Structure 1
Amino acid sequence: MTGPLRAGFIGGGFMAAVHTRASRAARGHPAALASSTPERGAQAARDLGVERSEPDAHSLTTAGDLDIVHVCSPNRLHTEHTLAALAAGAHVICEKPLATTAADAEHLVRAAREADRVAAVPFVYRYHPMARQARAFVAEGELGTVLTLDAAYLQDWLLDPDDTNWRADPEAGGASRAFADIGSHLCDLVEFVSGQRIHRLTARTRTVFGRRADTEVTNEDTAALLVELGNGALGTLLVSQLAPGRKNSLTLELHGTRQSARFEQERPEELWIGRREGSHLLLRDPATAAPDSARMSVLPPGHALGYQDAFTAFVTDVYSAVQGGRPEGMPTFADGLRAARLTEAVLASAAQHGAWIETAPETSPETEDRT
């Protein structure tokens, strides 16, 4: 495949803006966009600098001139839109959650495999250079054996009962909200950086406001988990969309037998390293970083990289994979399926008043996707 990839986008909101910027920065060509109505699609295409609008998702996926489709529609439509894009021969980036049920997520993994298409989910926090550096430290034994971890993803955008969003409607967003939306990111980063799967978990969830505007809310505002990794390490995870002052506070701290490491998404240029005899901040520097971290460092030290840069790095990797590359650590539909299974385990545990649920990964050729 030569020349810029022609990209289509289903959705016209915040995430579509992030995706179109990343596509352009990754040297793709934003060619078409469809939103919930023809009018909204036309306006979003103009606002985001996309070549044309299509009246609906069906028209976009059947247009025949797109190499890749970015699915940024509401959660309940992910399966429908992704299957249509794959059937049309396009590669796909689908926003998380990949699907609102693990069964649908598994269906999408198989469909992508059968179509032999690149299929990716934007777990983009693994694209911060210092998250990759933490991962390298774990893999190289710099931390020693990981014993415990402390992780959280906190936001405040649904703090008040008058705050609402389509995600609060279980028909549109799914049975899980806070965990499926941001807890999935947190678990992906835990497993990616630690190199260990979550093998067991116990969870409690809480829906603080049973109604938002005209919507009856049954999906959760907060979730708290205790997890056990494959090597026996224990960890605590807190997820909330009702934490005053926390805008996008994703943190991961790993405690090993030699030293600790802490990554904070809102301070992405640094990694805290803790030792018994003294601690320090390690600042991003590609000259001294692990190779995979240096690969993400597209700017010199002191020139801050942030969320949009991480998203661009993810899209760049996906576009590379479409053109035959095999980028290290690219999150695929298999990772989206893993997140869907963990989400269902959290809901099952909470429904059983915190019962321990086994979450050891199940892998087979039928449920792996093309990377």
Structure 2
Amino acid sequence: MKHTILRGAVALTGTAALALGTIAPADAARAGVREEKKAVQWLAGELGEGDLLVNEQYDFTDVGLSIDAGLALKGAERKGAVARDIAAAAAGQVASYTQGGEFDEGAVYAGATAKLAAYTLLVGGDATDVDGTDLVAQLEGVTTDEGPSAGRIVDQSAYGDYANTIGQSFAAVALSRAGSADADAAVSFLLQQQCEEGYFRLPLTADADAEDQTCDGAEGQPSVDTTALVLNQLLEVDGGADVTAAVDAAAAWLGSVQKDNGSFGTGVDGEGANTNSTGLAGWALGAVGSCGKARKAARWVKKFQVASKHSETQLDQEIGAIAFDRAAFKAGKTDGITVETRDQWRRAATQAAPSLQNLSKATCKQ
């Protein structure tokens, strides 16, 4: 089956169970998607003078979330120069972000290494020289060479291994794009994290030596966010029939769990709908050409975006921002976006902003 892939859109893919279509070029079509443009402008405006997001509540530079912001800008095909500036700024934090330094001597954090390497490559950079660090070699060094976990990334840290499926998906992209000999194994291990129903689980099997490393073997828990984020990266991998089949199954599962009002929860029983999950899933469905479902998701997200009509509230200086859910939006109207809540608003925008492009029929075509 042929998939229509928008290279550089960073998220998601196609499905046989859903009608496929051609994604229109962004230039003219997306220029008219006001809501998406405002969301991207707000998000870009959150970057500090050093082109990275700074968490003022806990006083640290959040490199990981900054990369997420860059992925959102790239997914929306807006502010490409800003996305590259984020990569350059993140490069200056390569040691503190991907290695343990004096606090965890000799450590290498697999997920962070994979994420920065993949992002560097996706914006046209050289992952073998990120401020003097060869992130491809560093990633290969934390990729399992043989046995049942061949291809699996593993943290090298005195504090244990916290690598997960999302980090594995970034590793698949980085190693594939770098032409690494470990690429096929990394992709293969990633695909093992998909359960028969079509979703991807977040945690990997706790015992890296266990013979069965699969999602089904561990009865992995459904995750909308993980499934959509993995689809983000699978679009960037030339993996043949196996990747195509995984893409089809994942996209079909996402479509099957959408609520009647267009929203998505996390996939965990009892957890309500939110713009993070809805934005990611809607972004995915739009990329595969399931425009009706994508548009329903975008319309739900739009309900929680700050617009000019909110100028008489405490959100009057936050036009374009996206609240996590109804409660967060209500609180924002009363109290504004506070130091304590700004991180949540930023995370909502990084995951939901690109989904708003699907409000336009010119952008998403079946």
What is the TM-score of this pair, normalised by structure 1? 0.28
Q: Which has the higher contact order (CA 8 A, sep 6+)?
A: 2
Greater percentage in helix:
2
Greater percentage in strand:
1
